[in-house]
Structures are given as structure tokens and as C-alpha cells.
Chains A and B, each alone.
Chain A
Amino acid sequence: MPAKPHRILLDRVSVYADEAAAFMRRRRVSRRPFARLYYPHGRSADHAQDSRAGAELFVAAGRLIEVAGKKPKR
């Protein structure tokens, strides 16, 4: 007996939602801190947190995060 059309739709939506949730979960777990600099003509460079330049960038970023504080309530 074929499934009712609305069932098919619901199943499909929930499959997409599951996929999206899994993607976000993987992204949260796998994404590590990074410092990326972009230069003219599209060149970019990553600096590891344990490098000298990277450490300075993370310290400067930390100060900015501190001054920004928490997200204002809207």
C-alpha cells in the first residue's frame, strides 16, 4: 500500500532537518580556532595559534572580544 502523500513530505522534511543538524554538529566539533589574514589580489595566509604571529593575533582578538562584551539584547 503506497504511503500517504503528506507522510512522504513529512519524512523528506525531517530527513533534511536531520542532515542539517548533523552538519552543524560536525562543524562545531571540527572547527578549531584560526587566524586568517587576507591581502590584496586575493592572497590569504593562515597563522597557527602556537606561532609567534598567531599568538599576537589571538591576544589582540581576545581584547576586542572583551571590549565588545556580550551580545546586546534586541
Chain B
Amino acid sequence: MTTVMIQEARARDTPGIFADMADAAATAPPSGESAEAALELLAEMSPDLRGAAILGPGGEVLAATGEERERWGEDAEALFAAADEAEGAPVEQVHIATEQGEVFAIRNAGLAAVSVTDRFALASLMLFDLRSALRQLAREAGA
């Protein structure tokens, strides 16, 4: 019964009660060690993952796979800028599927994460894992 009510609210374009339940934003940026640990866990959970990075509130790279940390920051910033510009509103999640692989990006709790996977990775799982990692980091930073 509750589900039906929420769907009706959505159809009426009513924000609904969940819209007000924002994730707690990180009061201070999480440490590089905890971001590295989150990235390692993410890589362990996602067999399709090729690489990923976690960005702080100012877009600084907290953790990244591989050697090119700075490039991760620049390219993620370019992706978010292109996505925000597409409809003139800040995006929450991005999913781009190409012939060469898939790119996921997400903003949550004042942090951001981007990941690159093989083709046909399960989008819902990847976005869920990224969101969970950011929430956990924000919780740790706020604690």
C-alpha cells in the first residue's frame, strides 16, 4: 500500500518524504587511507572493475587506482562538468556505455566517485556499491 502511495506522489511530481532525507555530507574530507581502503573493498566486490577514483568535496583525488592520480581528477571533473551542462542542472549519477567499456560516476554526501568497468557490468550494482562506499566514507569523516 505504501509503495502505491509513493508512486502516486511521484506521478504528481511531488518530491515526497524521501526527498528531505538527504545523506549526511562529510563535514571534513575523509583521510586518504580510508578512501584507499574503500577503493580496495570496491575492487574486491566488483569483478568487472578496471579502475576507479574517489574525489573529495573540492574535487581533489582522495584515492585512485593506477599511477595517474591527477588525470583521474581532471577527467572526472570534465565528466561532471559535461554532465551538469547537458541539462543545466547538477547530476547525481552518470552512466555511459561505450564499445570500450562503461563509465559510472556518482555524487553523494559531498563526495564523488568515478569508476570504469568492462562492458555489460550491472549498472544498478555498480552504482549501489559506489554510493555505499561514499556514504561509509562520509560517516567515518563525520564521526
Give me the interface of A with B, judged by CB distance under 8 Å: 27-28, 31, 33-42, 45, 47, 53-54, 56-65, 67-72
Contacts and interface: CB of A to CB of B under 8 A. Distances in A.
Q: Which 10 A-B pairs have the closest CB atoms?
A: A68-B51, A68-B116, A53-B86, A38-B93, A60-B79, A61-B96, A56-B82, A61-B103, A68-B50, A63-B75
A37 B93 contact: yes
Contacts of A34: 95-97
Interface in B106-135: 114, 116, 118, 120
Contacts, number: 114
Contact of B92 (A39, A63, A70): A39
Contact of B50 (A33, A35, A57, A71): A71
Contact of A37 (B15, B51, B66, B86): B86
Interface size class of B (residues with CB under 8 A): 35 or more
**Contact residues of B: prevailing secondary structure:** mixed
A39 B71 CA distance: 26
Which DSSP category, helix, strand, loop or mixed, fits chain A's interface?
helix
Contact of B19 (A38, A41, A54, A69): A41
Contact of A69 (B15, B51, B87): B51
A67 B72 contact: yes
12 contacts: A34-B97, A39-B89, A41-B10, A57-B83, A62-B100, A63-B75, A64-B75, A64-B79, A67-B68, A68-B50, A68-B52, A71-B50
B95 A70 contact: no
B94 interface: yes
A42 B14 CA distance: 12
Interface string B67-93: 010011001101101110111011111
B101 interface: yes
Given A39-B89, A65-B98, 11 more contacts: A27-B120, A31-B120, A57-B96, A58-B96, A60-B79, A60-B81, A62-B98, A64-B114, A67-B71, A67-B116, A68-B65
B34 to A, nearest CB: 21
